[in-house]
Structure 1
Amino acid sequence: MGEHKSVRILRALGVAALIAASATVLSSCSQPGATPAAPTSSRSGDVVDPSIPSATPTENVASDTPAPIATAVATSAPTASSDARAAVVPFITTADWDATAKVLDVSAIVPGSPESGGTCTVSLTSGSATQTASTTGVAASSYTGCPAVELKDLAAGSYQVRVRYSSPTSVGSSAARTVQVG
């Protein structure tokens, strides 16, 4: 079974390398408005690829595209505190409304923290109302699994789902995920 997983990983890495190489080749093809630079060489026997920019630009090219500006983005990553536990970020794997059973199923994983016994708490919020349900985390090879919990008696509408994981060694909350009920 481990051998099959290794083959899948190698295939995935091969596909990723192929995509990256294709993107590089395609992006080095002609670009609109670009003029090929004259080949230059420090030695007469060197071969120069005109699609690769030289170390010293030969001309200034005006651009209508503004330069990118770095912008801070809020994330759900844990912040430093006096808590000595490892900071983790749970990932919601399932948040599905079952219209027949009239329940919302929510499950999650906590990557990089394979331990059993921690508490996974699902919070479902709509406006000022919050409903919670908890389950016990289960260790897997490289993560902790938070088995599915069912949230019942929900009114139709839009809800924000979050999962918080807490154990003696790890703590953290997931990013919010929006779910439509009803």
Structure 2
Amino acid sequence: MKKIVIGLSGASGSIYGIRLLEKIKEAEIHLIISESAKKVIELETDYDLNYIKNLADYVYDDSNIAATVSSGSFIFDSYIIIPCSSSTMAKIAVGISDTLISRVALVAMKERRRIIIVPRETPLSTIMIKNMLALSESGVIIAPAMPGFYSRPKTVDDMVNSMVGRVMDLAGIENEISKRWSHP
């Protein structure tokens, strides 16, 4: 069974992370939720924090940088930070590991594990673009929350599913939540 670590940081777009948690079926899920993410979830959604935590097999406090998932000896298949705030992205890009979310990313980078970050900011500043470039050059997959429209989404839910399905593809997680491209 795959092991997936998911970090929810304080960027807008918490629904992407929640939907990802709801759609992963065949994996052991390790979840880290930042304090800022808890506030954003409350502001942006009607989801209860306990419901979200119950979607994971293991939940860690973002201040616990000694948690099991922070060790290079903890083997996992993918680490997904969704959504990824510009602050979290900047910390990782320059090697700051003062939270569990950033610590797991830096350990995963040194261990050459799959990391996917989903920034949800617009417009992008030059600093943010440079941070994305630095992370990409270090092997991190950058998947900005930019849903495609070739599937002709009818609802916001369709657009969320499209993006989450793409992230699941990048993580090697089977899914059928978004329409696949097919040319007539």
Give the TM-score band, short-chain normalised.
under 0.3
Larger helix proportion, structure 1 or 2?
2
Normalising by structure 1, what TM-score?
Answer: 0.21
TM-score, normalised on structure 2? Answer: 0.21
Which has the greater radius of gyration?
1
